Amino acid sequence: MKKYRDIGLKLTPQRLAILDYLEGNKCHPSADDIYKEVLKKFPTMSFATVYNTLATLKEKNTIRELTIDPGKKRYDSNTEPHNHLICVSCNQVIDIHVQFNLDLPQGMNKDFTVLRNHVEFHGLCPLCKEKQL
């Protein structure tokens, strides 16, 4: 938790529960998912506490906000560059730790300097694929 103190985050018991839930969590939860889970331990906690904590963590670059789900923002505690597999049926998101060296064709960058990219693969996870058979 030292890394959170170092960025100036006040470590209340509610925030610690949010941070504990996020630490190493690979399911890419939404703010609502986090709220529902932490509410079990802190029944009087407000959704605003979760939302504000996530906003602060995003601002301090300790989590990534993912916009891969059109219905809701999801959060990733892994801030290292990586890509994702996304199930179009159940919305499961899986990290892919392979970097793809993609260059835009000459003239298409519109004078942008590309700093990074993110690749998403959409398909069916094994469970959803099995259900369709």
Q: CATH number for the domain including 17?
A: 1.10.10.10
Give pLDDT tens digits for 30-85: 999 999 999 999 999 999 999 999 999 999 888 999 988 778 899 999 989 899 99
Residue range of the domain that includes 19? 2-76
Per-residue pLDDT, 110? 85
Q: How far is it, in rounded angstroms, from Cα 39 to Cα 72?
A: 19
**Which positions ≥6 away from 48 have C-beta within 8 Å?**
none
Is the domain of 34 the same as that of 99? no
Is the domain of 61 the same as that of 97? no
Residue closest to 63 by CA, chosen among 36, 94, 28, 87? 28
**Number of structural domains in the chain:** 2
Is the domain of 69 the same as that of 89? no
Is the domain of 71 the same as that of 102? no
